[in-house]
Structure 1
C-alpha cells in the first residue's frame, strides 16, 4: 500500500519525502537517482536511521495493503497462485529446455568460434593473396610496359617507345617501388634510353645516307626547274621586251613566276619525296633526353663528313656529255638544298654559319677540281658546255639564297680558256681557207647562191638583183665569203659565253676585239701578204681585190662591234688594227703588181734589138713593141679586170710610165756611143706605135706618161737641135724632156750623123764643146 502521507499541518522532513519518492520509482535508474541525494546528505547516524525507519514504515504499509487486498480477494489469489505454480512448472520446463538449448548453443558457439577463427585466418590468407595478386599485376604491368618499349623499338616507333619508357619510369614504377623489380627496371632505364637514342640515330644515319644518295637526283631536279624558269622567262621576254631588263632570280622574275609552283622536295612528277620525319623525330627524342646540344654537334659533324664524301679526287672534263661535272654540281646542289631546307624546317637546329661554311668549302673544292682539270680540255664546244653547267648551277643555288660570287673568277678563267680555244680553232679554219683558195673570181650559178653570199658577206653589189644574169662571177674569191662566215660565227660563239652570271661584259668586248683583230691580222691579212711573192699577176690581182673587200669588211665590223657591245658603260668607237693592216696590205699588193707588170715590161724591152748605127729605116714596128702593147692590152682586159677602176688606172699609169722610162733608157745606155738617123727613125716608129696604142685607151692622163718619151724622140729627129738650148723654145716644144738626157741624146745623134757622113773629128769635138757649154 502506498505510504502514508503526512496530515495537514504536520511537518514533513526531506528524508520522508525522499523515501516516498523512492518507493514510487518506476525503474532502477529513477530509484538510484532518488536515493543518491539522500545518501549524500546523510552525515549522521540519526539521519540514516531516520531514513531506514521511513523505508520500513513504507514497507509495513505496503505489506498491510497487500494483506488487505489478499483478504478481500482470496479465491482469486489462490487461483492466481495455482496459475503461478502452473506457470512456474512451465517456467521450470522452459528453463530446462533453455538450459538444454543453451548447452546446445554453447557447443554450436564453440564450433562457430572455431569456424570464425578459421574464416579469419582464411581471410588473412585471402588478403595476402589479393595483395600478392595486386603486386604481381603491378609488376606484370611494369614488365609489359618494359617489353612494350622494346617492342616499339623493334617496330621503329622510337618516340612512342620513349613515351612508354617515360610513363613506366614516372608512373608505374612508383607503384612497385617496394619490390626488387622496380630497382632492376629503374637501373635499366638509362640503358633503354641509350638504346632508343642509338636506334633513332641509326634511322637518322640511314636517312642521311639516302639523302646523300639522292642528292644528285635532287640537284638534277633543281637544275630542271631552273631550266623551266629560263624557258618561261624567255617566253615572257619574247612577248614583252621589258622583261629583257630583268635577270633570272630577280624580284620581277620571281613575282612573274610565282604562279608556277614547284616543290622540289616533294614532287609527284619527278617522283622525289624528301621526308624530314626521321630528323624531326631524332631531334625531339634527343631534346627529350636532354641531349639536344650534343645531337646538333654530332649532326653537324656527320654532314661535314658527308660533304667530304661528295667531293671526288679528280674530275674528267673531256667527256662530251659532261657527266662527271654534272654529277659533281648536282650533288653539291642537292646537298646544299637539303641544308637550306633543314634550316627552314627547324628552329635554331642548323646554324647559318655552319651551312655557309659547308657551302663555301664545297664551292672552293669544286672550283679547284675544275681548275685542275681545265688544262685537259682542248675543245671550245666542251668548254662552253662546262660554262653552261656552271651557270645553271649558279642560277639554281642563287634561288636558294646561296652566294655564288666565288664562281665569278672561275667563269673568267673559263672564258679566257674558251676564247683561246675558239681563237685557235678559227685560226686553223682561216689558215685552211686561205691556203686552199684558188684565188679566182668566185663563180655564181644562180640567184640562191648569190643571195647566200651577199647575206653572209659584207658586200655591196654594183648591180641590182634584177640586172644580174647567171652564170656570173663576183669580184672576190671564195675565201672572202668563207672568212666572213667564220667571222660571224666567231662573234656569235664569243657572245654565247655571255649570260646573266658572267658580269664581265667589258672583258668579252675587249677579248672579242683583240682576238678578232689578231685573227684577221695574222691569219688572213698576213697570209695574203705572204702570198704576194707569187709570180702570177692574176693571183696577185685577186689578192688585192680580196684585201680591198676585207678592208671594207673591217670597217663594217667596227660598227657591228660597237653596236653589239655587251657593256653599256663602254664609250668611244671600236677600232680594229686589221683595218689599217689590210689597207697596208693592199698597198703592198699594188706594189707587187707594179713589180710584176714592170718586170714583164722590162723583160719585153730587154728583147729590143736596135742597131743604133744602122743606115736602114724600117716602117714596121719592132717585135718587142708589139708584144709590149699586146701585153698591156691583155692585162687591162683580163688580169686587171677585176680591180677597182682607180687601182686599175693607177697600175696602168705606172706600167706605161715604166715602159716609157725603160724605152728611153735604151738610147741612153752608156754602151750606145752614137745613134744614126735611121736608128732614130726606127725608134720613133716604135714610140709612135706605143702612143697610138695609148690613144686607143681614151684616157688623156695615160697619154701624159709618154710625153717625155715622145718629145725626146722628136728632139732626136729635130732639124734644128739648137732650139733645145733656147729656154723659150725648149719650154714650148720640149718641156717634158730632161735637159741632161736631151743633151746626151743630141750628142749621140750628132755623133751618129758624123759617123755616117764621115765628118772630121775636129768639128765633132767643137760641137761637143759648144753643146756642153750650153747645157751647163
Structure 2
C-alpha cells in the first residue's frame, strides 16, 4: 500500500521538520515561517497543541529509558571518578620525581665546579709560594725603601731606591716580580715626591695659619715706624718733608731694624720648602713641582679670602683679618722669591698680589653701602693706608689700593655732605630769626671766634647783655662749616696721595651745602608774611656773603701744593648776594601790600556836603605804620637798604592815593571831596618832611601838584604848556584832563540817611595789621 505523504501545511509535517533541524539556526528557520503561516490561518492553537503532544511523548520516552539503565549509569560514573583520582595521584608522583632528579643534578654540577676551583687555587698557591721564596731578599730591600720613607728620610729613601733598581734587581731578572718592582720604581718615586709634598703642604698650612699674625706684626711695626718718623720730624722739621718708606726715612730708621719673619714673637722656618725643592730637583721634576706649588698657593689664596666682609662692626675685625691675611701671605711670597728664585718669579708673586688686591677691593666695595657713618669710613681708610705703607716696604705695587682710596673718599664725602646737610637744615628750620642775644664777654668771644664777624666795638668797649645783628643760626652754621672743613682734611693726611682731589671735592661739596641747604632754605623762608623775620633773613644773607668771601681765602691757604695755583671762587657768594635782592623785594612786597590794604580802607565822600577839618583815619594809620616799621622791624637793616625801602614805600603810597580819584567809579568830585584829599596829602607830606630826607619828598611831587590842580580855580592853566610845565610839571598829561572833567563846583545837599563814620569803619584796623 503506497505511503501517504503529509501535506506541508499539516502540523505533523511541520513538527517533524522542526525536530529534525540540525542546528538552532535551522530550527528557527523552520519555526518562524510556520508560526507566520498558522497565524494567517488562525491555526496557532493547533500548532501549539502539536508541540505540546510531541514534548510529552519525548519526556515519557526519556523516563522509560532512564528507568531501564539507571544502575549501569551510576556504576559507570563511579568508575570514571576512581580512574580520574588515580590519574591525578600518578601525575603528582611524576612531578615530585622530576624535581628530585633536577636537584641532584645541580648539586653534582656545584661539586664538580668546586673541585675544579680548588685545584686551580692550590696550583696558584704553590706557584706564588715558590715565587715569594725566591724574591724575599728583593722584597726586603724594597721594604727598606718604604721604612726610610716612613721615617721621613726622603733623600735616603730616594738613594736606596736607586741602588735597588740598578744593583739588586739584576740577580732576579728571571722572575716577573723583578719587572714589577722595576715598573713600581716610578710609583715609589712619586710616593716619595708626594710624601715630601705633603710635608710641604703641612708647612704651607702652618704658614697660612700664621699669615694673619705675620700681617699683624707687620702693621704694628709700620705703625711704630710712623711714630718714630713723627718724633724725628718734631725734633727736625726738615724731616717732615719725607714720607714713610722714603730713602731718608729708611736710613734714619736703620738702627731699629726688625725682621718680621724671625723675631721673638714669630719664626718662619723654610727648611721643608728647601727639602722639597731638593727632592724634586733630584727627580728631574722641577717644572712639575713649580706648577704644583703655584697651584697650591693659588688655592690657599682663594681660601684666604672670605665670601663677604662687614665694615659696620666697631672694631672692624673683618677688615683687620682680611688685610692682615693678605699682608702675611704676600710677605711669605716675597720672602720665598728671594730665598728660592728658581721656584717663584716676580711675575708669579705679583700676579697673586694683583688678584688679592682686586678681590679685596671688590669685597670692601660690596660692604661700603652698609656704612652710613663718616667716622667709621675714616677708620677703614686709615687701616687701608697702613696696609699700603706696609706693603710698600716690601716693594709691592699699591696703585690699585691707592686708587680705591679715592672711591672711599667719594663715599666719605657723600656721608659728610649728607650729615652736614641734615645739620644745616635743622639749624635753619629751628632758628627763631631774631637778633642773637649775648649775656657776657665769654659768650661774645666764643661767637666771634667761630664766626666770620668783625664787631664795631671791641669786647672791652661792649656792654652786656647786648644783641648781635644776626640770628643764632649764623654762628651755628659757621661752626658746622669749620667742622666740615676739618672732617675733609682728616681724610687727606700724609698717607693719602690725592690731596688735590680732596681740595676740589671740598670746594664743590661746601659750595653745594651753602647754596642748597643754607641759602636755599633761607630763600624758602621768605614766603612768610612777617616782615621782621624777612629782615632778619636779609641780615643773615649779608653775613653769609661775608663768610663765603672769607672761606674763599681760607680754601686757598689750605690748598695742597699739588692743586692748581689761583683763586677759589664759590657760587654761594654770588647766590647769597643775589638773594639779598630777593629778600629786599619781598620786604617791598609786604610793605606795599600793607599800604594797599590801608589805602583800600579810604572812603572819601567825593560829593560830600561838609568840609572835613581833620585828616582821614587811614592816612594817620598809614603814617604810623611806616614810622613803626622803620623804628622797629627795619631798624637793624643797613641805612642804604632802609632808605631804599622807605623810598619805595612812600612812592607806592603816593601812587595808591592818586589812583583813588582816578577810579572809574568816581564820576563827580566836589570841593569838599577835594578838600578831604588835600588835607590827607598835606598830612602825608608833613610826615615825609619830618624824616629830613629831601629825596623822599620828591616822591610826593606828582600827588601834590595833582591835588593843587584839582583845587585851582583856573583849570585853563593846565592847558597852557608854559604854565603847566611851571606849576604842574609832574602831573600826568592824561590824568589831568580826566580829573578836571570830574570836578564840579556845586555842593549838593546830603540825603537824610544814617551813615557809619570813617572812624567806626576803621576801628580795630591797627590791631588787624599788627600795630600798637
TM-score, normalised via structure 2 length: 0.71
From 662, 665, 683, the counterpart of 2:659? 665
CA distance in 2, matches of 1:205, 1:232: 39
2:375 alignment counterpart: 381
From 313, 329, 344, the counterpart of 1:335? 329
Would you say the 8 A contact 2:158–2:192 is kept in 1?
A: no
CA distance in 2, matches of 1:290, 1:734: 122
From 644, 648, 656, the counterpart of 1:650? 644
Would you say the 8 A contact 2:213–2:328 is kept in 1?
A: yes
From 201, 204, 207, the counterpart of 1:205? 201
Distance 1:634 1:203, change over 3 A: same
1:490 alignment counterpart: 484
From 301, 306, 310, the counterpart of 1:307? 301
Would you say the 8 A contact 1:544–1:590 is kept in 2?
A: yes
2:614 alignment counterpart: 620
Deviates more, 1:562-571 or 1:469-478: 562-571
Shift of 1:331: 0.7
CA distance in 1, matches of 2:596, 2:616: 15
1:752 alignment counterpart: 744
Deviates more, 1:636-645 or 1:257-266: 257-266
Distance 1:192 1:456, change over 3 A: same
CA distance in 1, matches of 2:234, 2:727: 79
User: Would you say how many aligned residue pairs link Structure 1 and Structure 2?
Assistant: 605
From 416, 430, 439, the counterpart of 1:436? 430
CA distance in 2, matches of 1:607, 1:466: 52
Distance 1:452 1:168, change over 3 A: same
Matches within 5 A, 1:120-135: none
1:610 equivalent in alignment to 2:581: no
Distance 1:481 1:669, change over 3 A: same
Q: 1:245-283, CA deviations, whole angstroms, 9 ceiling, x for partnerless residues?
A: 333222233223333322222333xx2332333333443
Would you say the 8 A contact 2:452–2:547 is kept in 1?
A: yes
Shift of 1:306: 0.9
In structure 2, runs of 5+ residues without a counterpart are 1-139, 751-772
CA distance in 2, matches of 1:357, 1:168: 39
2:588 alignment counterpart: 594
Would you say the 8 A contact 1:162–1:193 is kept in 2?
A: no
2:557 alignment counterpart: 563
Q: What is the RMSD of the two structures over their aligned residues, measured on CA atoms?
A: 3.6
1:82 alignment counterpart: none
In structure 1, runs of 5+ residues without a counterpart are 1-142, 759-776
Would you say the 8 A contact 1:217–1:330 is kept in 2?
A: yes
CA distance in 2, matches of 1:605, 1:190: 117
1:214 alignment counterpart: 210
Would you say the 8 A contact 1:604–1:628 is kept in 2?
A: yes
Would you say the 8 A contact 1:509–1:567 is kept in 2?
A: no
Shift of 1:623: 1.5
CA distance in 2, matches of 1:745, 1:459: 55
1:401 alignment counterpart: 395
Would you say the 8 A contact 1:149–1:162 is kept in 2?
A: no
Kindly name which structure, 1 or 2, has the bigger radius of gyration based on alpha carbons.
1
Would you say the 8 A contact 2:671–2:747 is kept in 1?
A: no
CA distance in 2, matches of 1:198, 1:167: 17
Q: Secondary structure at the match of 1:398?
A: helix
2:543 alignment counterpart: 549
1:680 alignment counterpart: 674
CA distance in 2, matches of 1:726, 1:259: 109
1:283 alignment counterpart: 277
CA distance in 2, matches of 1:744, 1:757: 25
Q: 1:619-646, CA deviations, whole angstroms, 9 ceiling, x for partnerless residues?
A: 3222112211111111112211222222
2:526 alignment counterpart: 532
2:313 alignment counterpart: 319
Would you say the 8 A contact 1:668–1:741 is kept in 2?
A: yes
Q: 1:206-246, CA deviations, whole angstroms, 9 ceiling, x for partnerless residues?
A: 22112111111211221222222233333444444434433
Q: Secondary structure at the match of 1:356?
A: helix
Matches within 5 A, 1:140-539: 154=151, 158=153, 162=155, 200-268=196-264, 271-287=265-281, 292-500=286-494, 502-539=496-533
Would you say the 8 A contact 1:656–1:702 is kept in 2?
A: yes
CA distance in 2, matches of 1:459, 1:242: 37
1:709 equivalent in alignment to 2:703: yes
Q: Secondary structure at the match of 1:267?
A: coil
Distance 1:590 1:240, change over 3 A: farther
Shift of 1:450: 2.1
Would you say the 8 A contact 1:219–1:332 is kept in 2?
A: yes
CA distance in 1, matches of 2:512, 2:361: 30
Would you say the 8 A contact 2:145–2:161 is kept in 1?
A: no
CA distance in 2, matches of 1:382, 1:166: 61
Deviates more, 1:289-298 or 1:587-596: 289-298
